Structure 1
Amino acid sequence: MPVDGYCERTGPEFWSEPVNAWTNVAFLIAAFFAYRHVRRTGAPWCVTALVVLLAVIGLGSFTFHTVATRWAATLDVAPILAFMITYVVVFPKTFLELRWRWAWLGAPLFIAFGVLVNLVIGGGSYLPALLGMVVFGVLLLVRGDLHYALWFAGIAALFGVSLTLRTVDTAVCAGFPLGTHFAWHLCNALVLYLLIRVAANRVARRS
């Protein structure tokens, strides 16, 4: 039986979610432009790794919205979690200029933060990501880096819109059978592109 968790899916067919499936091309387009920007700025391998994960997110999500099985759901979720964990390591290295041995602590700290948020508030894996962006912006503001603090504030606001579109998908089915999950893909592709771009810009500005 297919995993039927989205408004657009009406049956077990491969193309039962054509819009949800094809809007994943946005992740590949975002990865292409992110790669061009990363090369132009000379950002290090850790930022390039984010570009690779961005492309894999698109491929994994496309697989899930066509095959719609539990193993495909893992392909959908795992690259997103990998991107989150990688970014919380890249952020302290790139923006806070910490040594790698300290930057790696971002991963277990984020995982612990995510568990705590879900125990207290709920909201799955994406609410901690949203709150994490807010925390990044606050940290940069405290450091006096208003430019990048505003960048993260804007990206967090966009991700808030994106998360809302993901959340209301099934709620709007009666009036809008297509649902809103496809818009989550489009917004999220832009969010991830901007996260990579701002990290690459920070490296270029520092050098």
Structure 2
Amino acid sequence: MDWFAAVDIYCERTAPGFWNEPLNAISNLSFILAAIWAGNESRKRPGQPLVIYMLIALCFLIGIGSFLFHTFANTWSELADVIPIWAFVAIYILASVRLIGGVSPGRILRVSLMVIAGIIITFMATSGNDTSQSNPETPISMLNGSGQYLPAVCAMLILSTLTWKRRHPLAPWFITATIMFMISLTFRTLDMHLCAAWPFGTHQMWHLLNGLMLGVLLQALIRNTARPDQPIQLAPGAMSD
């Protein structure tokens, strides 16, 4: 593997160079701001479980990794972008299952294996087509790389549906975050397809909306979780199965 091979898969990039994607690079501040927002809120609410601080740190690293990818634009920086994202997705899903549902550690392990398997299968299915199109002559796929986020879409839809059906206090947070994610994913998908009409592309909107979405997801857990041994309670009269 050539760790320094150039990767050019976004509309805004027209040539090699550190600042050839200024909007895509600077828009990663949204993740940094989301992490700062979450950090400030967690300090106001002592007793947060360790996993909350892990998620805040990963949110910050997402901003750093994505900034590196949209400036250096090569293989190693692509990994710096992808790894924190999927680490956040996996850990957030597991944290939600534990903190919201009070699921036992044994069942958490089984869920962990399912989450990891889902991510691996998705990457295998999309590798070579979605996540890396460094050859400018390669035809743009219909989803423009967005297929790799199918596990995240499924997880957010499931969390939103379950919390809504159970009248869970986190339902409005998850539903809001899911809507944001679907809109941001649309912007990501359209980026290369709209180059002729909009040379700057739409990928920076993916960053801005996703930063806000991660901020909402972090706030959802921070504001509704006191200790890991006290799962968030359902609303009175809600389903308990």
- Assess same fold via TM > 0.5: yes
1:197 to 201, 219, 235: 219
Shift of 1:17: 0.5
- Tell me, in whole angstroms, the C-alpha distance in 2 between the residues paired with 1:118 and 1:139: 28
Matched AA of 1:45: L
Runs of 4+ off more than 4 Å: 116-119
- Tell me, in whole angstroms, the C-alpha distance in 2 between the residues paired with 1:154 and 1:139: 14
Are residues 117 and 63 of structure 1, via their aligned partners in 2, closer, same or farther at CA, if it must alter by over 3 Å? closer
- Tell me, in whole angstroms, the C-alpha distance in 2 between the residues paired with 1:141 and 1:7: 38
**Computing the radius of gyration over CA atoms, which structure comes out larger, 1 or 2?**
2
Does the CA-based 8 Å contact 2:122-2:150 persist in structure 1?
Answer: no
Alignment of 1:11-160 (within 5 A): 11-42=15-46, 43-114=48-119, 115=121, 124-145=147-168, 147-160=169-182
Shift of 1:29: 1.1
Matched AA of 2:150: L
1:2 to 3, 6, 18: 6
Which residue is 2:136 aligned to?
none
Are residues 150 and 125 of structure 1, via their aligned partners in 2, closer, same or farther at CA, if it must alter by over 3 Å? same
- Tell me, in whole angstroms, the C-alpha distance in 1 between the residues paired with 2:23 and 2:32: 15
Shift of 1:95: 0.8
* Percent identical residues: 36
Please state whether the residue corresponding to 1:95 is helix, strand or coil. helix
Are residues 116 and 187 of structure 1, via their aligned partners in 2, closer, same or farther at CA, if it must alter by over 3 Å? closer
Are residues 91 and 49 of structure 1, via their aligned partners in 2, closer, same or farther at CA, if it must alter by over 3 Å? same
Matched AA of 1:89: L
RMSD: 2.2
Does the CA-based 8 Å contact 1:117-1:128 persist in structure 2?
Answer: no
Structure 2 stretches of 5 or more lacking a match? 126-142, 234-241
- Tell me, in whole angstroms, the C-alpha distance in 1 between the residues paired with 2:57 and 2:24: 21
Matched AA of 1:29: L
Please state whether the residue corresponding to 2:225 is helix, strand or coil. helix
Which residue is 2:184 aligned to?
162
- Tell me, in whole angstroms, the C-alpha distance in 1 between the residues paired with 2:77 and 2:19: 15
Deviations 1:117-168 (A, max 9, x none): 986xx953312201211101222234332x3223212211110001011110
Matched AA of 1:55: F
Scaled by the length of structure 2, the TM-score of the pair is 0.78
Scaled by the length of structure 1, the TM-score of the pair is 0.90
Count of residues paired in the alignment: 204
Matched AA of 2:147: G
Shift of 1:65: 0.5
Are residues 142 and 54 of structure 1, via their aligned partners in 2, closer, same or farther at CA, if it must alter by over 3 Å? same
- Tell me, in whole angstroms, the C-alpha distance in 1 between the residues paired with 2:181 and 2:193: 19
**Greater shift in the superposed pair: 122-131 or 72-81:** 122-131
Please state whether the residue corresponding to 1:105 is helix, strand or coil. helix
Shift of 1:3: 0.7
